[in-house]
Amino acid sequence: MKRALVTGAAGFIGSHLVDSLLSENWSVTAVDNFDAFYAREIKQRNIAGHRDFKNYSLIELDICDRAALHALGAGDYDVIVHLAAKAGVRPSILDPFAYQQVNVIGTQNVLELARMCGVRQFVLASSSSVYGVNPNVPWQESDHVLLPISPYASTKVSTELLSHVYWHLYGIRIMALRFFTVFGPRQRPDLAIHKFARLIAERRPVPIYGDGSTSRDYTYVADIVEGVRAAMEYDKTGYEIFNLGNNQAISLLEMVRTIGDAFSLKPLLEFAPEQPGDVPQTRADISKAQVFLGYHPVTSFKEGIRTFAEWFERESVCASGAGHLGS
């Protein structure tokens, strides 16, 4: 039985990854601090099915608590997947010190745990935000001119550099994955697709920042999990950075209209000024991940939104006892 330690394991991507691992009889040590960034109950629902597995253990701790984290050093892990982070571009502008503490110092704590345990494989969740305002789309991992424009993005650059140090000094194989706007069931309530779905369902105006032409490379969570799983097994080289995206850009207006179509509702649009820290576009060149990891996203944006909408309606009914959101 293979053993994995997953940080951020009760979150959006983490809980889907744990689903996948448990389905293949992995032993999973799940770490999460249930940060108050959003309701604890949401994460509890994410992991409700995990508790039935004997090969699953949940440890509630903060990766900034070095002593508590390093107490896990007695574990025998084949791989550590480090997903835990303080998320969000705009909140990072309001509290940059907290983001530096959790994302950079916390990551160093987890890397130190890997060193102490003799873990040979480490998968790091990075972000497309590291590219910043780079106009050379689609973005390639070989482009070393990173221009982050938010504290969150800068911390993700820092974690990539820090992980390179641990590969160089200690021989830990590091796979840094730059996620491109992940969406799907269990998505955090603060993220655009989830937030806009709630506004559309409640017949409230959807804020359109700028003229609606900003675009994102939206990637369905199941495709991301497949990329993470491949990175967990990759052993040909010692340190790599991979884009995990969908290689297509969807504009803000198209995204909102697609959500409206999924709910059979016409969105009410409310235009607002552009937000600081937001980049005008993201788009991934995924050719490296295709060659090295066999990564091939298969879920279209429309298909992913339909699946998300079905999940959203089920969750809303469970939470409120109400009927169909479009009724």
pLDDT digits (tens, 9 = 90+) for 235-289: 999 999 999 999 889 999 999 999 999 999 999 999 988 887 777 889 999 999 9
Distance, in Å, from the CA atom of 213 to the CA atom of 252, rounded to the nearest integer, reads 6
3-180+221-245+279-298 maps to which CATH number? 3.40.50.720
- The pLDDT score that the predictor gives to residue 319 is 57
Q: Which of 77, 99, 131, 152 is catalytic?
A: 152
Chain centroid to CA 162: how far?
19
Domain boundaries, the chain: 3-180+221-245+279-298
Closest CA to 295 of 228, 200, 221: 228
Distance, in Å, from the CA atom of 158 to the CA atom of 171, rounded to the nearest integer, reads 19
Model-level pTM?
A: 0.93
Note if 99 is an active site residue. no
Mean pLDDT across 170-189: 97
Mean pLDDT across 48-57: 96
**Backbone φ and ψ of 86, nearest 5°:** -85, 120
- The pLDDT score that the predictor gives to residue 320 is 56
Strands 239-244 and 206-209: unpaired
| Mean of pLDDT over the chain | 93
Distance, in Å, from the CA atom of 74 to the CA atom of 241, rounded to the nearest integer, reads 29
Mean pLDDT across 122-136: 93
